[in-house]
Structure 1
C-alpha cells in the first residue's frame, strides 16, 4: 500500500470532480449542490513510477505491480460541523481514518457554481474547516481529562500510560485553545504511537489542492498563491491542480495524454504532482523487488531499516531476516540488471541496520 488520503473541502469546491478524475471512476456524484456525496467513496489507483517500466524491461518481468494510493472522498463540510451541522458527524468520523488530508480549496471564479459562503476566499475556506476540526478535537480532549487524571493517580503500567497520555492531551489543548492544530504539538518519536491513538482530526498532515480553472493550471493564480503562502507558514504543502483538466485527461487514451498536457502547458498530470507531494509530506519512499515473474513497488517510511522493509512483504521476512542483496535502481538500469551490477561490484549485502533508500532494488534472504 501507498497511503490513504481523505479528500475534504467545503461543498462545491470541486472535491468530487477531482476524486472522479483521480480514480477514473464515476463513483462520486459531482453536482452543484451541497452534500451530493453522502457516504465516503473510496478509490484506489496505481502510483505512477516510470522506473518500473525500465526495471521490468531488463528483467523481462511478466507483470508490473505498482504500489497503490487510496483516495477517500468525504462528504462536504459546512460551518457548524463540529456541532453536527450538515453531515458533520459523518465527516468527522471518516476523517479520523486517513493518513493525510487533501484539502481541496476553491481557487477559481465561476458564476455557474455557487459558493456555500457566497464568495471565493480560499483562506477563509481553509479557516472554516480548520476551525471545525479544532473545535471537535477540543471537545474530544476536554472530555478525557478527568478520567485520565483519575487513572494517573493509580499505580502500575495503566497509570504510567495514563500520565503520558494526559501530558499529550494537555499539550494539545494548549495549542488548540490558541487556535493551532494538534499536528503542531512538539513530541518525541517514542510518543508518536500514543499521540496517534488520540485520534485527533487536526493531527493528520495537510496537503492543500488549489483547484484552479484551466487557464491557471500551469501557473497558478492570485488565489493559489495565497494558499501557497499559508501552507509555507504552517509547514504544510500545496499543489496547483485543475479538476476540469484532470477530468479531461482521465477520459483520454494513454497515448494521447502527453499531447493534451503539452497543449495546456503542463509537463505532468496533477495526479503525479499530488502523489509526489503526498509522499514528501508523509516522508515515504519506494523500493522494488524485480524478477522474471514480476516487478513490484513497495512503499515504506523514510528511515525504515531492511528487516522492517522486508516485513512489508511478509512478516516472516522480518522475523527471519538474514541480509538484503541491494542494488540502486540507477545501477540496475545502467548495468543492465542483476548480473551486470554484481559483476561491476554494485550489488551490496546489507544487514539489519541498513536504512533502505528510495529506488533500491532488493532481494531478501531469510531463515524459515
Structure 2
C-alpha cells in the first residue's frame, strides 16, 4: 500500500518524508521543485501488540506490516494544464492508494512560500482544484473513447457519467456515497479525487508545544469530516534521530502521546478500512493487513494463495487472551481458542492459525 505526500512546493513534504522514513532520500531545499522524481521508501507499521505477543510466544523475530510513503513533487496552480511539470506529477499521484495532503500552517523567515504568504485554505483549494480539473478531463476523455470497458460494461459507463456530473458540480469524488464495487471501478479508472484523503497540517514547533493549532476551525470546516493530523515536521525530524528510549522521554517532555508516523498510519488504516491480524509462533510473530469485514479465507490468502484455495478452518485467539494466558497452550486450556469456518469475519487483533489442504 502506498501513501502519496502531496502539496504545494516548500510545504515540508520532503522533510516529512525523511523524518517518517528515517532516511535522507528526499532532497529538502528552500526552492520549488527540488523534488522531480518521486522518492519511495517502506516503513514498518508501529503496533505495540507485536512485542507483547512475541514475548508470550518467545518468538525469535518480529515482522511488522509495512507501508510505502511516496514523496511527490510539489503541485502548482495550473498543474492540470501541465504547468510546473503538472502532468508528470499528477501521473505519480494516480499510482498511490491514499493521498496525504501536506499543508503549510507555519511562518518562518527564509523559507519562501510559492504564493508569497502562508494561507492554508487557499493552498488546499489550489491542490484540490487541480486534482478535480485533472479528473474532469479524464472523465470526459474516457467517455469520448469507444474503448472496450464502455462497450462491454454498462456499469462503467454509468459510473463515468455519474463521476462527470459530480465533478462538474465542483465536488471531489471521494465525498460521494459510492458502493464498494463502484469505488473499486473508480480506482481502476485512475480518478485522483476518488482516493481517500488525509490532511496533514504542518505547524511550527512552538505551536505544537503550546497545543495551539493555527486556522483550526477553518481547516476542520474545509475538511468536512475527512481526517486531519496536526504535526510539526521539525519535531518529527528531531524524533527520527533519537533512540527508541530517548524518543519516549522526548515525547513525554512535549506531552505528546504518539509520533506523527503513528498518527498518519492510524488514519490511513481507518480511511482505507484496514485492520491487522497476527500469526504467532516460536519462529516469528508477524502482522498482516486485511480489509475490515474480510472473512477467514481472505485473510488466509494474505499469507499465501494456497491457504485461501484450500482453506479448511482457522484457530483463533484474540490477542489480549493470547498475552494474558501466556501463549497458545494457555489460551486453549482456558477455553479462549475458537475454531472458525469460512464465514468467520476477522477482527482487528485476532491471532490466527490456518488449516488448509491443497
Q: Tell me the TM-score normalized by structure 2.
A: 0.96
Aligned counterpart, 1:318: 308
Give the Cα–Cα distance (whole angstroms) in 2 for the partners of residues 173 and 193 of structure 1. Answer: 17
What runs of 5+ residues in structure 1 fail to find an aligned partner? 153-157
Q: CA deviation at 1:43?
A: 0.9
Given that residues 21 and 247 in structure 1 are in contact (C-alpha distance below 8 angstroms), is that contact kept between their aligned partners in structure 2? yes
Q: CA deviation at 1:224?
A: 3.9
Give the Cα–Cα distance (whole angstroms) in 1 for the partners of residues 346 and 212 of structure 2. Answer: 36
Given that residues 212 and 224 in structure 1 are in contact (C-alpha distance below 8 angstroms), is that contact kept between their aligned partners in structure 2? no
Aligned counterpart, 1:229: 221
Aligned counterpart, 1:300: 290
SS in 1 for 2:287: strand
Give the Cα–Cα distance (whole angstroms) in 1 for the partners of residues 100 and 126 of structure 2. Answer: 15
Q: Tell me the TM-score normalized by structure 1.
A: 0.94
Given that residues 105 and 203 in structure 2 are in contact (C-alpha distance below 8 angstroms), is that contact kept between their aligned partners in structure 1? yes
Q: CA deviation at 1:216?
A: 1.9
Give the Cα–Cα distance (whole angstroms) in 1 for the partners of residues 93 and 109 of structure 2. Answer: 30
Q: CA deviation at 1:141?
A: 1.1
TM-aligned CA distance change 1:359 to 1:151, over 3 Å: closer
What runs of 5+ residues in structure 2 fail to find an aligned partner? none
Give the Cα–Cα distance (whole angstroms) in 2 for the partners of residues 212 and 320 of structure 1. Answer: 51
Aligned counterpart, 2:334: 344
> Which residues in structure 2 correspond to 1:170-249 (within 5 Å)?
170-217=161-208, 219-231=211-223, 233=224, 235-249=225-239
Aligned counterpart, 1:47: 45
Aligned counterpart, 2:58: 60
Q: CA deviation at 1:197?
A: 1.5
1:84-105 per-position Cα deviation (integer Å, ceiling 9, x unaligned): 1112112111101111001000
Aligned counterpart, 2:322: 332
SS in 1 for 2:290: strand
SS in 1 for 2:342: coil
- More moved, 322-331 vs 270-279: 270-279
TM-aligned CA distance change 1:151 to 1:345, over 3 Å: closer
- More moved, 353-362 vs 163-172: 163-172
Structure 1: 4+ residue segments shifted above 6 A = none
Q: CA deviation at 1:151?
A: 6.6
The count of aligned residue pairs is 357
Aligned counterpart, 1:116: 114
Give the Cα–Cα distance (whole angstroms) in 2 for the partners of residues 193 and 106 of structure 1. Answer: 32
Give the Cα–Cα distance (whole angstroms) in 2 for the partners of residues 60 and 203 of structure 1. Answer: 44
Q: CA deviation at 1:160?
A: 4.2
Given that residues 74 and 91 in structure 1 are in contact (C-alpha distance below 8 angstroms), is that contact kept between their aligned partners in structure 2? yes
Query: Given the alignment of the two structures, is residue 367 of structure 1 paired with residue 320 of structure 2, yes or no?
Result: no
SS in 2 for 1:87: helix
RMSD of aligned alpha carbons: 1.4
1:197-250 per-position Cα deviation (integer Å, ceiling 9, x unaligned): 11011110100001011122252412244323322x1x3110011100000011
Give the Cα–Cα distance (whole angstroms) in 2 for the partners of residues 271 and 189 of structure 1. Answer: 28
